[in-house]
Structures are given as structure tokens and as C-alpha cells.
A and B are shown apart, each in its own frame.
Chain A
Amino acid sequence: MPKRTIPSNERPERAQILRITLILIAAYLPLGGYLAVQISAFVGLLFAIRLASLRWPAVLPGTLPLAALTLIGVANAAVTYQGWSGQNAGTALFVSMLVLKLMELRRKSDIRLVATLIGFLVVVEFLFDQSPWLVLYLGAVVVWGIALLVDLNGGLEEPRRRGAVKVAVTLALQALPLTLILFLLFPRLSAPLWNLGVDPSKATTGISDSLEPGAISELVLDGELAFRARFEGAPPAADQLYWRGPVLWETDGRRWSRGEGIANSGTAGTLLEAGRSIDYEVTLEPTDQRWLFALDMPNSVPDGAFISSDHQLIARQAVSAVKRYRVTSALDYRTAAPDPARLAAGLQVPEDVTPRMRRLVDEWRNRSETDWALVQSGLQFFNRESFHYTLMPPSLGANPTDEFLFETRRGFCEHYASSFAVLMRMAEIPSRIVLGYLGGELNRVGGYHMVWQSDAHAWVEVLIDGRGWVRVDPTAAVDPSRVDNSGASRMLGAGPSVRFTLEQADAIARFVRNLRLFADSLDAAWQDWILGFSVENQLALLERLRLGELREYGLVALMLAALGLTLGVLVLASIRERKPFDPLQAEYARFCGHLAKIGLARVPNEGPMSYARRVVAQRPDLAPTIERFMDLYIPARYGPDDPRDVLMALSDLLRDFRPRSASRMRDLLRRSR
């Protein structure tokens, strides 16, 4: 088979091959965290071959090995993801094939193709992650790719690379207003395009619906954000920030769970009295669970959610993406008494109750006239006895509650809440455990609270006659002097977080903290204004611009008009940069244009006189007109006198100046003979 030769100006330079490889590597890097290791290994191998081939061209695979590599790539993606469907499998296949293209960059057009496909790769990557940092990073990659395309198209002045980057940045900046218009005005679908149920879960586990030793201490060391909350008006005091999550009823002495058939059943929990209500908006990170968090006690129901009988806010669908909802909570409240079935569940006691636990409760009962007084006795017990708060409690044996209460006396919220609830139930006071978060860090930059996984907490609710369910936090009863802060960088898992937070006095720590707050507020703004920009936001914006009538086609028309206007402004601005119009120069350009048509174009750096001389030397028949033109033009353009009088004469001269090419002249002569 004869090999077609490639013209030298179509052959890519080594530096261009190196650059497209580096750009593709840079574009692939963020995907590495989402795709399986096998895919990254295959792609990495191809990158290595391409880079090595710049030094040793022999390593580049020929046609047959390339075909084999292609098959391996297809098989690799198919085996890894067991088929072709789904976002991961499709992306893996696309990336594998795209990187394979690097093996055959024979022409500049091959590089152009890869550079263009990198644009598609960038779009695909946003299916995996939409953080502002990724946008910045991939934006830089795209500009780099455009610079390479500019370089490939040639025509750049030295220094070439800097020139190409300059052009690319200019193009990107010019595209910015167009992007903004498309973002604001492009007609939106109500549901995201890619909500096909195939995207991998990005949810962090967070709080689960059961409590056992170690469940929360794990979370306390977790640095992830659980949710953000923005209060309307002043936020409540820090010791009011109990963010309510799952409510646990059933215990076996070691593990607490919601209890079969108890949770989510029955009617919505209602508040008999509600005072001091507070409005706020929560932006919940995905949990893959159905519960939503609200301050004690939620008094309104956001869309797509309901309130369970134990006052828990529950979404109708699992939270698999960032979810934003508005709630109103009552800080002072009185709940209704539960139905008898629940009352029984609230009194269920594990089997491993020991005599000394019984003695302790009996003693409290004898001392106290009312249930509430008994609760206070319990709290005093935790406060007076040598209970320690620590994140690293000693491990507990067969009967954890007993062991904790009388022997180790070291633990954190889950120990305190669990043992306290058991003791209360033994005293015939219905109790339940509530899981959730306590406190939150005020982000002064963004003006909202950040609640971290490390703020996870567990507390107890007891049923008191006439008051309904009352929140009791036994962990907070521990004497502050017995709080052990070592072993965890942030101690927000127990008690009011403010109380236990180490004062970070030194400047660097404060700076780092502020930096973190700033980064998070940027993230939140991104969430609010970019990712959360929905159909409703779009319509609200149009309303505000008094363009509310526009829907669908009207919106498209508005978008096109805005795009046209922006493009027009950009074009006008670029024209304006040119030099002012010189009529004399225009006539000269016309003159040169006529001559260019007959193959006597002016060289860009040729002066008028040398040009005239050259043309006359080649076409003596044109000499009279050219001499007359130059006689007028040169002094007018370069001489000291006003050129205005000459302009007319020049355009008169040019009106009849239609030079014919030499070959055409010969044809005409022959014919006339």
C-alpha cells in the first residue's frame, strides 16, 4: 500500500505533540479519582508510551499493536464496569479511546481533533464534580488547549508561545460575556439532564439510624461538612443549636435503633404550644438517607418532606444530591403526648439491668417527688460523680451500661445519652434518644453556620407530664473540668460546642481558620448562585428585568438578541482598535488591489516607488497610468502639502484602471488577429 506523504507544514512539531499530551494528562487528572484503577493504569501506560516516544520514536506502536491496544482498552472498560451502560463505563471507554488517539498524531489535524475532544472530556468531568475549584482548573486546561490550537493554525509572531497564550486568554475573556448570557438565559429543563440514576453516589455517610459504641466517635474525627444553615435574623444561642435527626426507641443494652414499625408511622407530631420561632435555610450535603435536619422543634414542613410522629423531618426521597430546604422551628415548645403504643416503647428496658443500677434509680425515686426532679437527680449524678468526657474511652465489656456507670466513667455523648435513657426508663419515665448535630461554626465571611460531621451528637428526650417531650443533654452535665480535650483536634462532639472548643489564640491558626471559612463561603456562593440556578431563579430574574412574559421561544429570542448584541459590541471594539481611516491610503490599497489581481501584488514592506518601478519593469504597457498615479500619490501621502485636492484626481484615475493580466492580454491579441 503506498503511503501518502504528508506535507511538511501539516506535520506536527515535537513540541506540539508534547503539549497535547501534557494537556490531555492535565485534563484526565481529576477523573483519576472517580474512575477505577484499571482505567487509570491503561491510560497512564498510553501516556508513558507517548512521552517516551518523543525521545525514542521506536516505542510508538505500529498498526497491529495499536489495534490490539484498542481491543484491550475496550475490554478493560467493559470488564471493569461490567458493560457499557452508565456514566462511569461510558466515560472510561471515551477516555481510553481518546488517549489511544495520541498514538497516531501524524498530522496537525490529529492534534486539532484531540484538542477539540478534550473540550468534550471537560464537559464529561463536570458530571462527576461541579466544584468551583474544578471549574478554575479545567478552565485553565481549556485555555491551554485553545493556545495549542492557535499555535497549530500558525501565523503567529515571535515569540510564538507567548503570543498563542495571549490569543487564547483574549478569546476566553471574549467568551465570558457570551457564557454569562447562555448561563442566565438558556432555557432550562426542570430536572438535570444527567439525573438518570446512574451517577455514582457521592454521599458521605454521616449519622446513621442506630447508635452503638464508637458510632459517633468515628464521626467526631471526620472533617466533612454535614450541612450549612443560614438564619433569617439573629441566630439562636449556641446551646440552642440542637439539630434534630433520627429518633431512637429500641435498645438491647448495647445498641439503640429506631425500632421496627415505630419510626415514621402514625400522624405528624404536632406542637401544642410554639413560641420564639426561627426561620432558616439548610443546604444539606448528600447523605443517601431520607432524614433532614432541623432545629428542635421543626414547626413547618418543606416541600417534598413530612414530619414524623416523633418530630423528625423526613424527605420523601433519599438525599442523593445537595438539597436545600427552608424550615421554621419553635425554640420553645410543648409537644403532644404520644399514643399508648409509643409510650410502651419509650419504657422498654434492656435485659442486662444490674442490681446496682436498680438501686441507683430507686434511690433517686425515693428522693424525688416529681419525674422532673428525678431527671435532675440523674443529671446531678453525672455532674458530681467523677465522670470524664473523653473521645478515647476504655472499651466496655459484656454489660456496657453498668460498666460505664460504675467503673470506667469515661465516655462521650453516646455513652451518656444511652445510659441516661436506660436509667430514666428504669424510673418509669418514657425516654428516647435523638441523634443529630450540636452547634455549628458561624462563617462570618458568608454569614451562615457550618455544621460538620464532627458536630454529631446524641441526646435524650424524656416525657414529662404536662410538658410533653423535654430535651435533656446528660453530656452537658459533665463537669467541664473533667473534659479531656486531648486526642481530637476539634471537640464539638459533646456538650455545647462553644464550651469545649479549644481557644485558637495563635495568629496562624486564626488565619488558617479564616482561610477555611472564606473557602467554604466561596463554595456556598457557588452552590447558591451557579449550581442552584434553577428554572425558578431564571424566571425570578426575568421578572425583575420586567421580561417576565418571556417563556421558551421568547427566552430563546431574548438569548439570541443578547448574544448578537454582545458579539456586535466585541466586533465594534476590535474594529475601533484599528488605525483611523485615511482616504489616501484607501485609494492606494485599491490601486494595489487592482495590480494584485493581475499577479503583481505588492510585497508588504515594499515602498510605493520601488513597487511602481517593479510593476513598470514587468508591464511597460501600464507605465502611463502607474506613473500618473504615483506622481500624484507619493507627494500627497508623504509630502508637506494638503492631499485633499489629489484625492479626486486619484479616484478618477482608478475608475478606469482595470489592468488585465499578461496572459489574458495575449489571448485578446490573438483573437483580434
Chain B
Amino acid sequence: MTNFLSRHGMNSSASLAERVLVAARAVILGKDRELRLALACLMARGHLLIEDVPGVGKTTLAHLLARLLGLEYARIQFTSDLLPADVIGVSVYDRAAESFRFHPGPVFSQVVLADEINRATPKAQSALLEAMEERQVTVEGETRPLPEPFFVIATQNPLFQVGTFPLPESQLDRFLMRIRLGYPAAEQEKALLAGEDRRSMIARQQPALTGEQLTALQQQVVAVHAAPAIIEYVHAILALTRSSERFLHGLSPRAGLGILRAAKAWALLEERDYVIPEDIQAILPSCVVHRLAASEYGGRLDEDAVMSEILDRVALA
């Protein structure tokens, strides 16, 4: 990092987060930026969507994060015949008690790994996505709270693949970040091929944080300072996406809040207790691109083009 900026007493929390990152880097090679983004997302209490072709380590990353954060987790493999009950749970008649008893589904876990979420039908998708926003599930008239903390780490295949049901924008908006992993660089790929099986590596991992430490980190994120100039900058970005002809619709206020929260988490990872414009710029692609749709019918947004459009045209004073 920079060698000329004084640090502002964030060492304890920063080192906590750093501990998670060090452990994660040992398993997932050469993806430092993606790991930081994923961690920032979880520190900002946001849900994470990992999108890429099969086999680049999406599920491994999700597993690893759950493990390192010391959270109880469940995995749902989304398929086209998945039913909402498979996610939420079902009530089964208990002969002995002579009543129905609710068997909670995998959604009642602190970390839910929703694998290949876009392989399931919209009905099954929405069962999970509703739980994400409300952080509670209503089954047969009874509202049941979900555990705390509650994260959904979903993976999805690129939309152009066969047999996928794209998530509607309204549901994509609920993911704070969408990241892509991409193929590893040559050096790292060779190390991966030569190295140990990742599954067993994850199984061996010890949690890097306790539950209290995670909660403390999340509270520190909220306390990070965002100066008026930063608020102005975020607002200018939102306004630009709303007035630009390239996008079908602009970013929602929820997206704006998400950007700010993610930037605060990123600032914390950078050992600062205030946000600077670079934090916004760092997290912006992963927070923004999945929430925007191209204005022309059937048009697809090129991620780089979107970012350069937004960043080039919002000037900093």
C-alpha cells in the first residue's frame, strides 16, 4: 500500500480482516482483489453473487468464506426441478405429537451457498431472494426469523448458457456485489495443478474470526466516515446513470446505499476510518454493473464500457 499516508488507528480491525485474507489467499491463488471485494461485501452485510463459467472456483470461494468466518453454512444446489419447500423447509405431521412440525430448510443457516442460482425456476429463486431482503421467512402463516448474521453467497453461470433462468433486475438489486473470478494466471494455475486438493484444504481451515469479531467488524463498517464530498460523488454517479441514454433505468437509491456501504467496508480494509473517492471507484464495478440494463432491446452491457462511461463522466473536484 501507500508508504506515505499515516494510518488512523484501525490496526486491530484491519488485522482481523487481514487474517481472513491471508488464509483465503493460501487456498484461492492470485485472486487477491476478488477476495478483498468478497470480504468487503460480507463486512458490509451484503449478499454476494459470483458469476462465471463453471469450474473457476466459485463454489470453492463461497465455501472458503463461510469456513473462514466461522459460520454455520448450508449449500443448495439449484436445479430446474427445485421447489420452494426445498429451500425454506416443510411441515411434516408428527404422529407422536399429533401435530405438524416444521423442518427448517437450508435457508435457516448463517451462510447459504446457493449454487447455480439461475438454473432454478423463478419460483424457487424467489423463495430465496425474498428471504435475503426480509431476513425472515413466512411459512404457513408463521414468520420465522433467519439466523444472524445471514449471508447468501450465490453463484451463477453466465446468462448465455443453456438452461438458465436469468434473475430479474429487481432480484439482482438485492445482491450488494456481483464479482467474477476469471481464469487464474499461468503461474497460479500451475501452482493449483501441482498443489493439494482444495476441498481438503478448506476442510482443514480453522475459522479466522469469532462471531463477536465479525459483528464488531460489521459495526465498524457502519461507523466509517463519508464526507459530504463523497456523498456528492456517489450522488453524481447515481444521477448520471439515470440521465444516460445507454441504460434502460438508472441506479436505485438502494444501489446508492449499497455503494456507500461497500465503499466504507473497502476503506476499512484499506485501514482508514473515512472513505476516499478511490474506495468508491474500487468497489463500483462489482456494485453497479449487475444492476444496470442496456437501453436497447436485447443489448448487453459491456462491463468495461459501463465503468469507463460512469467514471470518465463524473468528475472529482
Contact = CB atoms under 8 A, between A and B. Distances in A.
Interface of A: 157-159, 579, 585, 588-589, 604-610, 612-613, 623, 626-627, 630-631, 634-635, 637-640
Q: Which 3 A-B pairs have the closest CB atoms?
A: A627-B4, A607-B277, A604-B315
B281 A607 contact: yes
A569 B15 CA distance: 57
Contacts of B4: 612, 623, 626-627, 630-631
- Counting chain B CB atoms within 10 Å of each CB, which of A157, A588, A623, A634 scores highest? A634
B186 interface: no
15 contacts: A158-B245, A604-B312, A604-B315, A605-B311, A605-B313, A609-B276, A612-B4, A623-B4, A630-B5, A631-B4, A635-B274, A638-B229, A638-B276, A640-B227, A640-B273
Contact of B316 (A159, A605, A613, A640): A605
Contacts of B2: 609, 613
A635 B9 CA distance: 13
Contacts of A627: 4
Contacts of A639: 8, 225, 227, 273-274
B143 interface: no
A604 B313 CA distance: 8
Given A585-B317, A638-B229, A640-B273, A610 B5 contact: no
Given A159-B245, A605-B311, A631-B5, A640 B276 contact: no
Given A613-B2, A627-B4, A640-B225, A634 B316 contact: no
A627 B225 CA distance: 22
A585 B316 CA distance: 10
Nearest to A585: B317
Interface of B: 2, 4-6, 8, 225, 227, 229-230, 244-245, 273-278, 281, 311-317
Contacts of B276: 607-609, 634, 638
Contacts of A157: 313
Nearest to A636: B227
A310 to B, nearest CB: 75
Contact of B5 (A579, A605, A609, A637): A609
Contacts of B317: 579, 585, 588-589
Contact of B277 (A159, A608, A631, A635): A608
Given A607-B277, A623-B4, A630-B5, A638 B227 contact: yes
A630 B278 CA distance: 14
Nearest to A158: B245
Contacts of A159: 245
Interface centre among A158, A609, A638 (most CB of B within 10 A): A638
Nearest to B315: A604
Given A613-B2, A631-B6, A640-B274, A605 B312 contact: yes
A638 B275 contact: yes
Contacts of A613: 2
Contacts of B229: 585, 637-638
Contacts of A626: 4
A157 B230 CA distance: 23
A24 B276 CA distance: 52
A635 B317 CA distance: 15
Contacts of B273: 639-640
Contacts of B8: 635, 639
B315 A605 contact: yes
A667 B5 CA distance: 33
Contacts of B316: 604-607
Contact of B278 (A604, A607, A623): A607
Contacts of A609: 2, 5, 276, 278
Nearest to A628: B4
B279 to A, nearest CB: 8
A615 to B, nearest CB: 12
B259 to A, nearest CB: 15
Nearest to A605: B311
Given A605-B315, A639-B227, 15 more contacts: A589-B317, A604-B312, A605-B313, A607-B277, A607-B278, A608-B277, A609-B5, A626-B4, A630-B5, A634-B5, A638-B227, A638-B275, A639-B225, A639-B273, A639-B274
B230 A638 contact: yes
A157 B244 CA distance: 10
Candidate in B229, B245, B317 with the most chain A CB atoms within 10 angstroms: B317
B155 to A, nearest CB: 32
A604 B314 CA distance: 8
A159 B244 CA distance: 8
A613 B225 CA distance: 23
Contact of A610 (B225, B227, B278, B315): B278
B227 A637 contact: yes
Contacts of B315: 604-605
Contacts of B227: 637-640
Nearest to A640: B225
Contacts of B313: 157, 605
A589 B316 CA distance: 11
Contacts of B275: 638
A309 B273 CA distance: 103
A156 to B, nearest CB: 13
